Amino acid sequence: MFLALKEIKKEKFRSGLIIAMIVLISYLIFILTSLALGMARENTDAINSWGVAKITLSSNANVDMRQSFLTQKQAGTLSKNEAYLGETPVVAEAKGHQQQSAFFVGLKSTQFIAKKIKLESGHRVRHSHEVVVDDALKLKGYQLGDSFKLNDDKTKFTIVGFTKRAKLNVTPVIYGQLGTWRALRGIKMGPVTSVVASKTNQYQSHQDGTKTYTRQQIINKLPGYQAQILTFVLMIGFLMVISMIIIAVFLYILTLQKLPNYAVLRAQGIPSKVLVGATISQSFLLVASGLIIGTVLTAVTGLVIPAQVPMAFNIPLLAVVGLVILVMALIGSLIPVKTVLNVDPVSVMGGE
């Protein structure tokens, strides 16, 4: 640590360059991670807020709740742990507002999912043309008491409540009654719900034409979801490898320049582990400083970023990401360490 600190102090410019590089990379990684998490949440916030573990869909719905229709018989008998849920894509339209795509989710107010929805303001749905909506619509200028039309339904719907983070597949959710779902779908006979969702992991449907999935299976099948996650993970992974290479290259160059000095120290009996320790702590100090500055930048970004940008700053997740960057850098410092271990004191004995 002594040698590393002294060197960083003396070589401010070089160290500054490396730190600047780490700052940029870690900042980029932090922002990408927050974006990835934000996007993931906008895909899954609603479904995660329902408190469901298992969901039964039509077996031919391709694990897509919107494509699922269950008859009364297929839905089976529900215990208090199960609930109906009807989902359909809708377009909300009102004077003075742009058209808004959304998912209408019809629920039975007596069942657990409807009770689980947390209201930010207003009250729960009591009538067929009352809705509780994601607060994204608030950002679009809607207020409590405002109304809009949904698809071709003649009667207007009134916003009676707002709820936070109710997004499904990056689209705001409009909660209403299950009967309204049937009306919007134009169903007169037959299906009673899109899916049956259960709180418990033990729940399993055995009816013909149905299949029960875990919540994660449903999430993984959300259109575009996995491709998005994969894209982000790849970018983040590459950046981490790049940070490792940068540290390896910079430290290697710095170490090469010091080899004669190190050789003299070895001749004087300074153990290799002191020099290895200096190299590793140098890498640690540079990366840690870079990470700290990157974190500050990320925090500042989090404060000034507009609410529309889907960024979620999750401190434990970012801490893990930071830790991985640190570990990558330490791995990167193994290349120069190998050089240090191979320093031959005899190489500098001759002089000049």
Partner 1 sequence: MSAFSVKNVNQIFGSGTAKVHVLHDVNFEAESGTLSLIMGPSGSGKTTFLTIIGGLLTPTSGTVTVNGIDYNQRSKKQRDALRLEAIGFVLQAYHLLPYLTVADQFTLVDKVKPKGNLTKAELNQVLETLGIRSLLHKYPSELSSGQQQRVAIARALYPNPAIILADEPTAALDGPRVKVVGSLLKSLATDHHKAVVVVTHDSRLIEFTDHLYEMQEAY
Query: Contact positions toward partner 1, by CB under 8 A?
Result: 2-3, 6-7, 9-11, 258, 260-261, 263-271, 274, 345-346, 348-352
Of 258, 114, 100, 83, nearest in space to 176 by CA: 114
Q: How far is the CB of 264 from partner 1 (least distance, A)?
A: 4
Nearer to partner 1, 274 or 293 (CB): 274
Q: How far is the CB of 326 from partner 1 (least distance, A)?
A: 24
Nearer to partner 1, 143 or 257 (CB): 257
Say if CB 251 and CB 336 are below 8 A apart. yes
The pair of three-digit structure tokens given for residue 264, joined into one six-digit string: 């003299």
Nearer to partner 1, 75 or 348 (CB): 348
- Helix orientation angle between 315-332 and 272-304, rounded to the nearest 10 degrees: 150
Region at 347 (left for phi over 0; alpha for psi -120 to 50; beta for the rest): alpha
Nearer to partner 1, 214 or 261 (CB): 261
Q: How far is the CB of 286 from partner 1 (least distance, A)?
A: 14
SS3 category, 193: strand
Q: How far is the CB of 352 from partner 1 (least distance, A)?
A: 6
Nearer to partner 1, 89 or 260 (CB): 260
Q: How far is the CB of 272 from partner 1 (least distance, A)?
A: 8
Nearer to partner 1, 7 or 135 (CB): 7
Q: How far is the CB of 19 from partner 1 (least distance, A)?
A: 16
The residue assigned the tokens 């008491």 is 145
The type of residue at 279 is T
Q: How far is the CB of 287 from partner 1 (least distance, A)?
A: 19
- CA-to-CA separations, 27 to 30, 46, 276, 307, in angstroms, rounded: 5, 29, 28, 19
Q: How far is the CB of 301 from partner 1 (least distance, A)?
A: 35
Strands (E), the chain: 54-58, 82-93, 100-107, 121-122, 130-134, 147-150, 157-163, 167-168, 171-177, 195-198, 210-214
By CB neighbour count within 10 A (0-12 exposed, 13-18 middle, 19+ buried), where does 60 fall?
exposed
Say if CB 213 and CB 47 are below 8 A apart. no
The type of residue at 18 is I
Nearer to partner 1, 216 or 257 (CB): 257
SS3 category, 212: strand
Nearer to partner 1, 160 or 348 (CB): 348
